[in-house]
């Protein structure tokens, strides 16, 4: 018979309370057990001494007989130096992006590195380009000054269309 030291759930809905029990591994989680050796109340704060309580002598006995603790119970027993702390399992990789998305991200990172390297190598050329752009800027400002004079009539035309559209909306309301 393979023995497990595990948690058996009790308590109300959304108010869990666990008994630390020694049971046959083939039995149901909350089913028949051999011995109750403690309890665990996750509703209490972590520093509370009543959060986890178990009989250390009985736990030692069952470990010597060959009972295997569950992961959570092993953490409790490790706090009393009865067993080694279980190794952390690697988390699932379902939350990570898939292969194509990782390739795209790597390509974007590489392109960003190349752009940064190119910017560092040619700072002198970019300074010259900025100077030439400043010289061209005054010639571009002249057409922008003329644009507001052209826009004024179109705004009046748009206002006239708005009045016409309001009349259309009233006509539609009368039809329905």
- pLDDT tens-digit map of 105-155: 999 999 999 988 888 776 655 556 665 655 555 554 555 555 555 555 555
Residue 15: which CATH number?
3.30.1320.10
Give the residue from 133, 19, 5 showing the smallest Cα distance to 75. Answer: 5
Chain segment 161-175, per-residue pLDDT in tens: 555 555 555 555 555
> Regarding beta strands 68-69 and 3-12, do their DSSP bridges make them parallel or antiparallel, or are they unpaired?
parallel
Percent of the chain with pLDDT over 70: 69
Q: How far apart are CA 176 and CA 174, in angstroms?
A: 6
Domain count, the chain: 2
Q: How far apart are CA 104 and CA 60, in angstroms?
A: 54
156 in a domain, yes or no? no
On whether both 75 and 103 belong to a single domain, the answer is no
- Domain span holding position 38: 3-79
13 in a domain, yes or no? yes
168 in a domain, yes or no? no
pTM of the model: 0.51
145 in a domain, yes or no? no
On whether both 15 and 53 belong to a single domain, the answer is yes
Q: Of 100 and 153, which is predicted with more confidence?
A: 100
- Residue 61's pLDDT is 93
Give the residue from 91, 22, 106 showing the smallest Cα distance to 59. Answer: 22
84 in a domain, yes or no? no
On whether both 20 and 54 belong to a single domain, the answer is yes
CA dihedral 147, 149, 153, 159 (to 10 degrees): 80
pLDDT band for position 158 (cuts 50, 70, 90): low
Tokens of 12: 């109300």
150 in a domain, yes or no? no
On whether both 47 and 9 belong to a single domain, the answer is yes
33 in a domain, yes or no? yes
Residues forming beta bridges with residue 105, ordered by sequence position:
none
152 in a domain, yes or no? no
On whether both 63 and 26 belong to a single domain, the answer is yes
């Amino acid at each position: 018979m393979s023995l497990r030291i595990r948690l058996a759930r009790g308590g109300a809905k959304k108010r869990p309370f666990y008994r630390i029990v020694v049971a046959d591994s083939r039995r149901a989680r909350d089913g028949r057990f051999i011995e109750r050796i403690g309890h665990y109340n996750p509703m209490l704060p972590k520093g509370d001494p009543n959060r986890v309580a178990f009989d250390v002598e009985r736990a030692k006995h069952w470990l010597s007989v060959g009972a295997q603790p569950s992961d959570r119970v092993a953490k409790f027993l490790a706090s009393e130096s009865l067993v080694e702390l279980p190794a952390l399992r690697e988390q699932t990789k379902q939350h990570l992006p898939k292969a194509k998305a990782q390739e795209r991200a790597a390509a974007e990172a590489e392109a960003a590195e190349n752009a940064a390297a190119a910017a560092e190598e040619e700072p002198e050329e970019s300074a010259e380009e900025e100077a030439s752009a400043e010289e061209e800027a005054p010639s571009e400002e002249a057409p922008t000054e003329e644009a507001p004079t052209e826009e004024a009539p179109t705004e009046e035309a748009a206002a006239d269309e708005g009045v016409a559209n309001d009349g259309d909306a009233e006509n539609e309301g009368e039809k329905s």
